A and B are shown apart, each in its own frame.
Chain A
Amino acid sequence: MIEIKIGTATCGNAAGAQKTLEKFQILSKENNNILISETGCIGMCYQEPIVEIFASGKKFLYANVDEKVAEKIFTDHVVHNNPVPENLIAETENEYQFNKQKRIVLRNTGIINPEKLEEYIARGGYEGLKKSLAMTPADVVKVVTDSGLRGRGGAGFSTGMKWKFASDSKNDKKYVICNADEGDPGAFMDRSVLEGDPHAVIEGILICGYAIGANEGYVYCRAEYPLAIKRLLEAIKQAEEKNLLGKNILGTNFSFELHIKEGAGAFVCGEETALMASIEGKRGMPRLRPPFPAVSGLWAKPTNINNVETLACVSYILANGAESFNKYGTEKSKGTKVFALAGKIKNGGLVEVPMGISLKEVIFEIGGGIKDNKKFKAVQMGGPSGGCIPESLINTPVDYESLMATGAIVGSGGMVVVDEDTCMVDVARYFLNFTQTESCGKCTFCRIGTKRMLEILTRICDGKGEDSDVEKLLDLANKVKNASLCGLGQTAPNPILTTLKYFKDEYIAHIRDKKCPAGVCTALIRFDINDKCIGCGACKRACPVAAITGTVKQKHILVQDLCIKCGSCYNVCKFSAVDKG
């Protein structure tokens, strides 16, 4: 029997995995000796579509498998047992080894078929639940506390302590909520876990329910993740059939009911009190704490909220013991953390590393460095709530305290790497535009302050900045930080504060010299065609708005009024005939 596994998470599908899957299905139609199955994302998104061949006791991992490559792999490898070296990236009899990585959260993603419960169980799934049910709830809380696990959603609060508060609340009804409203642009680990290993999260929810004394729970998942929702629904159905969910789980007195709530597109609903309001069917606006959700949460009942990654850690910790987790990491930041590498990085995708390794190791050794061998400028960490870390701080260890000291945060774990072609003022404006749009409008400073900061940043990018603007930004930033109720407002100024701290010269260049050093801000750059033009027409074809005119073999002309300054002509010209200035 030969098994062909195709990675069909959203990232794989976006790269064409469905076509690869169909190709293999057609090719193996008449062959009963071939089993085709699907799996989640193994984390190497830059190599998608990824296909694994399981033959003669060995696993072969193939990258960039389009329909043509699929055909070659099928003929050469599957039929004639000759592996295809051009696309082969790994070959092993055991587990795959990932350079410097330790996979706890991602232990099964890209390996098992997420729609098959038996594959999760075969790799030790639901052992954590079984062990928990044999313990007292207080002992389960103790294991989680001992593991040192801290919330992976952003704030980094001790998970064990959070559970303790919820379990100490006396009430006949309690809830567990899994926060899968992964809203930070640039973070996609929760999507990947839900699509690739949904049972790991469901098991974590059940353990939490048992530990705090809850019998009902919700997964609040954003609507932009249709595949994650589909896989979760399927997983819930399977778990119910096997008595892992529902009444008297595994013959014990513990019963649990799990629902899925689809988000409706509001970033602020990642905040726990806003999320609960949204589940209740209201506008998702945060409220004052205390009372904390552990005392009065969903429908005024004690509620515990954890993020997807946290709950996937929990199922591992209960199966393998606190020790198996806290042996990794630093003194205050235990275990591993998943980071989503994106932006101008060579090997973009998901990586899971022990806390405490340096940013340099993550970006250059695991991530392979910067695309097209450009120069590293900064890494933006923690999405709109985070900040930009410059090259001078590249040796900073990735743990909660060290990153906080730079002005950025671990946050949800998004790492967007930017190079010399990225304008830091534009990046700050991008994030402010995001938080300003997503502000729910409850607190005046967040509602109006973000708007005013965005206006200032926009005018700086348009070349209309004034000398006093930097001071105004700092003043507003501090007020918004201090006078907002929830995390959204309190952290919204971070991208401005960190870019001002580390890249002030770029602000000054925009304001005083009316120049964008990275050549991004369209009002401050222009393109012209010079005399080197031989009239090949490449720029004319590349221009998305037909702003270039001219006949073949004659110098072309760029009509400035139509130009949107996208740089397509500049990138496509092979004769240095387009000037950027």
Chain B
Amino acid sequence: METNKAKLDQILKEYSGIKGALIPILQKTQESFGYLSQESMGYIANSLKMSAADIYGVATFYTQFRFTPVGKYVIKVCHGTACHVGGIKILDAMLESKLDIKPGETTKDGLFSIQQVACLGCCSLAPVVMISDKTYGKLTNDKLGKIIDQYYTAEKEGKTL
């Protein structure tokens, strides 16, 4: 927790005196630790002189915030209209069976988490999936399966894609 505190202090310092900074602070915290732990929200509450409940209330309102750790790669599956009519459900089923997890869960090896998101804005290339910050379009089961395999291969070689 000591290193976490140092990191949190750094984030809090960056936003000190700025109006309406709670959401960016939470975003930066999540970026650093992968999720919002109870401890970090409590620590932020103390520093900002707000109640932890208020902070939790804001955090749970927005879908971006997670309260459990996530995998190294977050697979964002687009559930926009174009992807819906373009058959994203089939990809959902494939991912769930290949990784053996449901949306919102993380694989046992800690490599992947699946997250269902609203539109990613690449509707002409539906169905679309985003892994970390990389977008993959015009997907089929076969194509997505191979992409996931690439990540596994990279991991074996000790690389990060």
Contacts and interface: CB of A to CB of B under 8 A. Distances in A.
B89 interface: yes
Contacts of B93: 544-545, 564, 566
Interface string B39-57: 0000000000000000001
Interface string A255-295: 00000011111110000000000111111110000000000
A280 B137 contact: no
A14 B122 contact: yes
Given A14-B128, A566-B90, A568-B141, A186 B82 contact: yes
Nearest to A347: B124
Nearest to A433: B79
Given A185-B81, A264-B64, A282-B58, A10 B122 contact: yes
A341 interface: yes
A279 B20 contact: yes
Interface residues of B, number: 47
Contacts of A191: 121
A284 B61 contact: yes
B125 A380 contact: no
A279 B18 CA distance: 12
B121 A10 contact: yes
B92 to A, nearest CB: 9
Given A13-B135, A281-B21, A544-B141, A416 B85 contact: yes
A440 B63 CA distance: 12
Interface in A320-346: 340-344
B82 to A, nearest CB: 4
Interface size class of A (residues with CB under 8 A): 35 or more
A117 B98 CA distance: 46
A46 interface: yes
B161 interface: no
B11 interface: no
Q: What 8 A-B pairs have minimum CB-CB distances, sorted nearest first?
A: A348-B124, A45-B124, A342-B123, A264-B62, A185-B80, A14-B137, A281-B22, A185-B119
25 contacts: A10-B122, A11-B137, A45-B125, A188-B123, A223-B27, A261-B23, A262-B24, A264-B63, A264-B65, A267-B118, A280-B20, A281-B20, A283-B58, A285-B61, A340-B124, A342-B81, A343-B86, A348-B125, A414-B81, A416-B123, A544-B97, A544-B141, A545-B93, A546-B97, A566-B87
Interface of A: 10-11, 13-15, 45-46, 48, 182-188, 191, 223-226, 261-267, 278-285, 299, 340-344, 348-349, 380, 383, 414, 416, 418, 422, 427, 430-431, 434, 438, 440, 542, 544-546, 564, 566-568
Interface of B: 19-24, 26-27, 57-58, 61-65, 79-82, 84-87, 89-90, 93-94, 97-98, 117-126, 128, 133-138, 141
